[in-house]
Amino acid sequence: MVIATALYRGSHLVAGGVVVAQHQRDRLFPWLALSAAIASTALIWFMAARHRRLVPWVVGLDVLVIGCLLPFGAYAWGGARTQESVAWVMLLGGSASAMAAVAFGARLLAVAVALLVATHLAGYLMVEADAAVTGAHLNALVFSAVVSWVLTWYLCRQGEQVDSANRRALAAEAQRARFAERVAHHNALHDTVLATLTAIARGGVDANTSMMRERCAREAAYLRRLVEQADDREPASEVRAALEESVRAAEALGLRVTARYHEPPAVPGEIALAMARATTEALNNVRCHAGTGHAFLTAVGDSGRLIVTVVDRGRGFDTGSAGPEGAGGPGGPDDAGGAAGPGVSGGSEGPVGPVRQATGGIGLDRSVYARMRGVGGRAFVDSAPGEGVRVELRWPG
């Protein structure tokens, strides 16, 4: 409707320009009146573009000056003494009433239309216009407002219905996602915790072996994450679900992961996938090279930025001497497993001490750094011999 009323006013300005150029070009006031109408229109659309809607006070000013006062000015100073000479000024009142219908509420619109009708009726009476011309003009004045108001109401109502349908669709999709997540957890519980407890209850395995204790610890960590997620009032984000897949994959290979999520922000799907794959590589480095079976993962939001950290308490390495030749070995950068954690910084979310962007290492270069660079993020590694490794993934970088 903003564009429609702009075109409507534009048609009136074109008509006024033609009339002034052909019949009133020798008088100063018609040119001043046309310039005032153009300036008022420009102000209206400048404010509309800035606020993405018609601003009521600007439209009200146009109604008063262009719609109500300009006809009297044309009569008093413009020499408009006939209905033909004043008609182009009266036309502007029609577009003023249309804009008022879009910008005002019902009560204020009624006041504006009544004011326009009264002033335009007085203007045509001053020039002794025909009753038919006066009636037709007043009819157009009123119905310009009525039609604009009806169209505005209809479009707003349709927009509300579309928004309501979108909300219902999103709610249904969220419900389906929650059901799918619940089924996935049920399957995971059946294949892990329930299978372990059943085997212990039947006496088929020795619960005191180190292997069984490690398995129970991994499954306890999974249950803890499941309980925390159930207590969380916010729906699971896409990045959280992707990171959970990485954690479960690492746990399936024997690594125990303690994961914590502190309101990670919503990110696009490709960002969540890149973060998860980089995290998977960091966890693989812990499992293969850190000399420890336990890693710590934290995902947090910081002013719209997603920060994922993976930490281990393993052997660590010297980041100053790490290079491509150290890739894949215990002392190379592929040892990197994480982000701040107990072994390096006590599990804090931010880096402690200098955090250097490591270089070299096939696993880190291809699976961590390259993935993060590809989506506009960054990866950092902090480590020291005997102090474990901290890998931090940030998006945006």
Q: Judge whether residue 340 has pLDDT over 50.
A: no
What is the pLDDT, as a whole number, of residue 193? 77
pTM (whole model) above 0.85: no
Q: In which residue are the tokens 């994450």 written?
A: 225
Return d(Cα 119, Cα 113) in angstroms, integer. Answer: 10
Q: Which of 178-182, 202-206, 253-257, 273-277 has the highest mean pLDDT?
A: 273-277
Return d(Cα 242, Cα 262) in angstroms, integer. Answer: 15
Stretch 266-273: mean pLDDT: 87
Give yes or no for a contact between 345 and 351, defined as CB atoms under 8 angstroms apart: yes
Stretch 116-136: mean pLDDT: 91
Return d(Cα 140, Cα 161) in angstroms, integer. Answer: 31
Stretch 12-41: mean pLDDT: 90
Q: Judge whether residue 61 has pLDDT over 90.
A: yes
The backbone torsions φ and ψ at residue 352, rounded to the nearest 5 degrees and listed phi first, read -115, 125
The backbone torsions φ and ψ at residue 247, rounded to the nearest 5 degrees and listed phi first, read -65, -45
Residue 81: which pLDDT band, with cuts at 50, 70 and 90? confident
| Least confident interval from 155-159, 160-164, 237-241 | 237-241
Q: Is 203 exposed, middle or buried (0-12, 13-18, 19+ CB in 10 A)?
A: exposed
| Least confident interval from 174-178, 209-213, 221-225, 282-286 | 221-225
DSSP 293: S
